[in-house]
């Protein structure tokens, strides 16, 4: 039987998924990322892990393809100019894997784009032909899939939604140098930043008043329990994202926005606010795209990486 591997390479761990010919997950496992030697041990570790898996199946499985998600920009041929998280510079993981598996189809893509592909085929986007995934983590990332293809753009910049700025009042600078980026609000870092601001400037009561340190999760949980300032914080942060989504609808009008990443665990609380701000900014149409929560969680990366190579992209 042919098996396809979806490999999600991150700065701390490498996740593996083994899939059958229909793209159904058979097995999954993970290993730690070895960043020593400028990240040059990562691909040999991937090779070893896949070979060990195949050997354990005693000739029953052979490799149909290997897809990889990389936490940085990747061009169509798999070339990575720099990937800070993996310590790679001017490296091509596809060519490296090809040396070990010369007859196997191998593909690599940016991890957010790969996760978008996963949600598109197997998750919240599967009923739609065009979709945009927005991941709300430490930063804000995203990927665009139209008719089953990831939109890369001329420079691989498409879907890098975190640093779209405009339409949001802000004076503080984002780490990219701009002012008023979506990242400054809708990321976990952004939520904590806005909450601190509110605690300093507003009189309203919050259970986070006396806390030295808190996380975006704490803010979301407080908001769920009706905490006045936390609700205000979520309103500011997710309205900024909703405003951003209206930009995208006016640019390429996707059928659905899928919201993923750690912050999305806040669920309905954030979706309602995003929707309200989104609809307020829409022009010409009154309904707009659907806005849904991602459904694959941490598996989006391995599933998408498998789809990437299965679809021969
Ligand atoms: Zn920015």
User: pLDDT-based confidence at 21, cuts 50/70/90?
Assistant: very high
State the Cα–Cα distance between residues 242 and 129, nearest whole angstrom: 21
pLDDT, tens digit, 9 for 90 and up, residues 157-179: 788 888 888 667 888 998 888 89
Tell me the chain's radius of gyration from C-alpha atoms: 20
Those residues whose C-beta lies under 8 Å from the C-beta of residue 95, and which sit 6 or more positions away, are 78
State the Cα–Cα distance between residues 294 and 307, nearest whole angstrom: 17
Percent of the chain whose predicted confidence (pLDDT) is above 90: 75
* Pick from 36-40, 208-212, 238-242: least confident: 208-212
Measured in Å, residue 78 CA sits from the centre of ligand 1 at 26
Measured in Å, residue 293 CA sits from the centre of ligand 1 at 24
Sheet holding 130-136, edge to edge: 149-150, 140-146, 130-136, 256-260, 290-293
State the Cα–Cα distance between residues 184 and 192, nearest whole angstrom: 10
State the Cα–Cα distance between residues 228 and 72, nearest whole angstrom: 38
pLDDT, tens digit, 9 for 90 and up, residues 263-313: 998 888 899 999 999 999 887 777 899 999 999 999 999 999 999 999 875
Going by C-alpha positions, the residue among 108, 137, 158, 157 that lies closest to residue 304 is 108
Determine the average pLDDT of the residues in 9-29: 95
Measured in Å, residue 206 CA sits from the centre of ligand 1 at 28
Question: How distant, in Å, are the alpha carbons of 77, 79, 291 from that of 90?
Answer: 13, 7, 37
Measured in Å, residue 165 CA sits from the centre of ligand 1 at 7
Which stretches of 166-283 are DSSP H helices? Answer: 183-186, 188-201, 216-224, 228-252, 268-281
Report the alpha-carbon angle 262-266-271, nearest 5. Answer: 110
Which residues, listed in sequence order, are joined to residue 150 by a DSSP beta bridge?
A: 145
Measured in Å, residue 158 CA sits from the centre of ligand 1 at 15
- Average pLDDT taken over every residue of the chain: 92
pTM: 0.91
Measured in Å, residue 113 CA sits from the centre of ligand 1 at 19
State the Cα–Cα distance between residues 255 and 257, nearest whole angstrom: 7
State the Cα–Cα distance between residues 35 and 21, nearest whole angstrom: 32
SS3 26: strand
The predicted structure's pLDDT at residue 233: 96
Handedness of CA 299, 302, 307, 310 (dihedral sign): negative
SS3 298: helix
State the Cα–Cα distance between residues 113 and 135, nearest whole angstrom: 10
Indicate whether 201 pLDDT > 80: yes
pLDDT, tens digit, 9 for 90 and up, residues 224-263: 999 999 999 999 999 999 999 999 998 889 999 999 998 9
SS3 225: coil
The predicted structure's pLDDT at residue 313: 52
Measured in Å, residue 136 CA sits from the centre of ligand 1 at 14
Question: Chain-centre distance of CA 245, in angstroms?
Answer: 16
Measured in Å, residue 161 CA sits from the centre of ligand 1 at 9
Measured in Å, residue 305 CA sits from the centre of ligand 1 at 27
User: pLDDT-based confidence at 198, cuts 50/70/90?
Assistant: very high
Percent of the chain whose predicted confidence (pLDDT) is above 70: 99
Determine the average pLDDT of the residues in 208-234: 93
Question: How distant, in Å, are the alpha carbons of 3, 26, 171, 254 from that of 61?
Answer: 6, 12, 57, 39
The predicted structure's pLDDT at residue 165: 81
């Amino acid at each position: 039987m042919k098996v396809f591997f979806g490999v999600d390479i991150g700065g701390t761990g490498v996740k593996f998924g083994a899939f059958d010919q229909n793209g159904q997950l058979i097995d999954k496992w993970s290993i730690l990322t070895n960043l020593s030697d400028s990240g040059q041990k990562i691909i040999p570790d991937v090779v070893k892990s896949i070979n060990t898996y195949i050997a354990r199946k005693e000739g029953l499985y052979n490799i149909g393809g290997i897809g990889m998600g990389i936490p940085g920009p990747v061009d169509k041929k798999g070339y990575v100019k720099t990937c800070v998280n993996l310590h790679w510079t001017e490296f091509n993981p596809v060519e490296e894997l090809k040396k070990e598996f010369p007859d196997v189809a191998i593909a690599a893509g940016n991890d957010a784009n790969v996760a978008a592909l996963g949600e598109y085929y197997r998750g919240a986007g599967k009923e739609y032909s065009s979709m945009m995934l927005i991941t709300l983590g430490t930063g804000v990332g995203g990927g665009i899939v139209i008719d089953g293809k990831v939109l890369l753009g001329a420079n691989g910049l498409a879907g890098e939604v975190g640093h779209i700025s405009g339409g949001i009042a802000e004076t503080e600078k984002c780490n990219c140098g701009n002012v008023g980026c979506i990242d400054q609000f809708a990321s976990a870092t952004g939520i904590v930043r806005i909450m601190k601001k509110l605690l300093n400037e507003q009189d309203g009561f919050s259970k986070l008043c006396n806390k030295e340190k808190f996380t975006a999760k704490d803010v979301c949980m407080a908001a769920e329990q009706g905490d006045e300032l936390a609700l205000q914080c979520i309103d500011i942060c997710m309205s900024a994202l909703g405003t951003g989504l209206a930009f995208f609808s006016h640019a390429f009008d996707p059928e659905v926005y899928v919201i993923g990443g750690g912050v999305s665990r806040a669920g309905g609380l954030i979706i309602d606010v995003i929707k309200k701000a989104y609809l307020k900014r829409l022009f010409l149409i009154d309904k707009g795209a659907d806005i849904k929560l991602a459904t694959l969680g941490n598996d989006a990366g391995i599933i998408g990486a498998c789809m990437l190579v299965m679809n021969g992209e």
